[in-house]
């Protein structure tokens, strides 16, 4: 298992790191979530069904860990960047194929960070790897219609805020 898991860590760490940062909105909490996610994945690897894509299983663990630990402190700090290094790390995480300038990306990030957590989580999963509504519903253990509704509400809020 060690060799297989090392390959998983090498393959999925960058994307998992971006997901954690998108969910937590600051690097300290994102690093904690990243470590907690890998720890749970290692601990529960025997329960992993290899017919299910590993990345979806891993991201489900990440999202559920994020949701379950909100009470313990993740995402309580609303500061966007604690240091210039944090800001640079986030800007460097912007995909190269983005058509937005870093300033526009940061503005969009601020709008997304102000979304209610349920809406933000669905939006991130949809835009993160373009998961289908069905896949997101499975990951979050909610009905597909709820995913669709949350995604619609998130987009409406963003459009309204960008119009302002």
The domain that holds 74 is classified in CATH as 1.10.1740.10
User: Could you give the percent of the chain with pLDDT greater than 70?
Assistant: 77
Assess whether 8 and 70 both reside in one domain: yes
Q: With helix as H, strand as E and coil as C, how does 9-48 read?
A: HHHHHHHHHHHHHHHHCCHHHHHHHHHHHHHHHHHCHHHC
- Mean model confidence pLDDT for the chain: 81
Domain enclosing residue 152, as ranges: 97-164
Half-sphere exposure of 95 (CA within 13 A, CB side): 10
pTM above 0.75, yes or no: no
Q: What is the pLDDT of residue 43?
A: 92
pLDDT in tens, 19-55: 888 888 778 888 999 999 999 999 998 888 888 899 9
* Of 93, 128, 148, the domain-final residue: 93
Kindly state the average pLDDT of the residues 68-97: 58
Assess whether 47 and 112 both reside in one domain: no
pLDDT in tens, 122-133: 988 888 777 899
Residue 81 is classified by DSSP as -
What contacts 135, CB < 8 A, 6 or more positions away? 56
């Amino acid at each position: 298992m060690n060799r297989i898991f090392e390959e998983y860590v090498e393959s999925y760490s960058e994307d998992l790191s971006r997901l954690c940062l998108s969910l937590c909105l600051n690097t300290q909490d994102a690093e904690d979530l990243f470590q907690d996610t890998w720890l749970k994945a290692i601990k529960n690897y025997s329960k992993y069904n290899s017919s299910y894509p590993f990345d979806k299983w891993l991201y489900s663990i990440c999202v559920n860990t994020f949701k379950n630990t909100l009470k313990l402190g993740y995402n309580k700090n609303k500061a966007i960047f604690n240091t210039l290094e944090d800001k640079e790390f986030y800007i460097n995480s912007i995909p190269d194929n983005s058509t937005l300038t870093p300033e526009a990306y940061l503005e969009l990030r601020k709008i997304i960070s102000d979304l209610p957590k349920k809406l933000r989580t669905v939006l991130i999963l949809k835009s993160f790897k373009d998961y289908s509504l069905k896949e997101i519903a499975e990951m979050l253990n909610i009905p597909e219609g709820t995913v669709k509704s949350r995604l619609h509400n998130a987009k409406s809020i963003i459009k309204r805020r960008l119009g302002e």
